[in-house]
Amino acid sequence: MHQPELLIKQTCLLGEGPVWDDKNNCLYWVDILPGDIHRYNIASGDHTTFNVGQMVGAIVPRRSGGLVAAMQHGFYFVDFDKKTLHAITDPEALLPNNRFNDGKCDAAGRFWAGTMPFNESEPAGSLYILSTDLSVQLKIKGVTISNGLAWNSDNTVMYYIDTPTRVIVAYDFDLQTASISNQRVAVDVHGEKGYPDGMTIDTDGMLWVAYYGGWQIVQYNPHTGASLQRINFPVANITCCTFGGPSFADMYVTTARKELSEADLQKQPLAGSVFVIKNIGPNAGSGPNAFAG
């Protein structure tokens, strides 16, 4: 049985979007609501944060160095060391009640990132791609809380989670053109405790889904819809997971503290911390795709 261990005690309101940097042995993640990007060096214990002055939904590495972020006010290049931002474009400049949430790059280096309304209850969000020429394209409309994204290893299927729908959908994916088609339900998770949030995929093509309010991560076979294993946590709001560490055998997991009462926090004092599950398997995952623009 896999057990989560505390990696670093934190009080993130909405810890999210862990990204492994294998060159520097660092884990990045964000705390969306206060607008912090965190970097933690696993070997040295060095922990640095950069407050970007607005909500930050997701970060991805950039092939030429630095990061790209999807934030409250659109896409930005980020130089974490110099602590500088460079605005790229904001596809929702006219939607002040929305912000970016989860996002990830595909194997061609395009940045897919989705939005959500602050009230988390209307389908006012969308999923976009920032292409390598820095143009933006709308891919999916009518999303309420745009969350987990993953692609299979031959880049023929994309998986996606709009949290309140409580299903993981699959699309046929064309890496060349970024077209998605033939939407279908891959896994129906209505019976699960909590809401499906962030997601990653392992080298066998199995999905790992973090459950907000569900105290767990569940692994699924998206071809059959069956759940394969469950990892329980000492905190309720599990937001996102990614593979990292030597040979990508470990899983890093972010959690959230927002909306927990004093009584809740007494029962889950580690809410908002980052956890690691060591040795999920050798070469269980792979590194994040980087933005190629």
Instruction: Enter the tokens of residue 19.
Output: 């990204």
| CA–CA dist 114, 82 (Å, integer) | 27
Q: Which is nearer to ligand BGC, 271 or 284 (CB)?
A: 271
| CA–CA dist 194, 165 (Å, integer) | 12
Decide if 195 contacts 166 (C-beta within 8 A).
Answer: yes
Q: What is the DSSP letter of 106?
A: -
Shortest separation between residue 158's beta carbon and Ca ion, angstroms: 17
Shortest separation between residue 216's beta carbon and ligand BGC, angstroms: 14
| CA–CA dist 285, 264 (Å, integer) | 33
Q: Which is nearer to ligand BGC, 76 or 211 (CB)?
A: 211
Phi and psi for 271 in degrees, rounded to 5?
-55, 130
3-class DSSP assignment, residue 263: helix
Among 147, 216, 242, 289, binds Ca ion (CB under 5 A): 147
- Using only C-alpha atoms, the chain has a radius of gyration, in whole angstroms, of 17
| CA–CA dist 38, 234 (Å, integer) | 22
The partner in contact with residue 125, picked from ligand BGC, Ca ion, none with C-beta cut-offs of 5 to 8 angstroms by kind, is none
Shortest separation between residue 23's beta carbon and ligand BGC, angstroms: 27
Beta strands in 11-94 (DSSP E): 15-21, 26-31, 36-41, 47-51, 56-61, 67-71, 74-79, 84-89
Shortest separation between residue 163's beta carbon and ligand BGC, angstroms: 4
272 interacts with Ca ion by CB under 5 A: no
Q: Which residue has its beta carbon closest to ligand BGC?
A: 212
Q: Which is nearer to ligand BGC, 42 or 217 (CB)?
A: 217
Element of type H or E holding 159: strand 157-162
Residues 96-125 that bind Ca ion (CB under 5 A): 102
Shortest separation between residue 254's beta carbon and ligand BGC, angstroms: 10
Among 15, 74, 198, 272, binds Ca ion (CB under 5 A): 198
Q: Which is nearer to ligand BGC, 213 or 281 (CB)?
A: 213
Q: Which residues 6+ apart lie within 8 Å of 67 measured at CB?
A: 28, 37, 59, 60, 61, 77, 78, 79, 80
The partner in contact with residue 32, picked from ligand BGC, Ca ion, none with C-beta cut-offs of 5 to 8 angstroms by kind, is ligand BGC
Which are the catalytic amino acids?
197
Q: Which is nearer to Ca ion, 35 or 198 (CB)?
A: 198
Where along the sequence are the contacts to ligand BGC (CB under 6 A)? 14, 32, 101-102, 120, 145, 147, 163, 195, 197, 212
Contact letters for Ca ion, residues 63-102 (x by CB under 5 A): ---------------------------------------x
Catalog residues that contact Ca ion under the rule CB under 5 A.
Answer: 16, 102, 147, 197-198
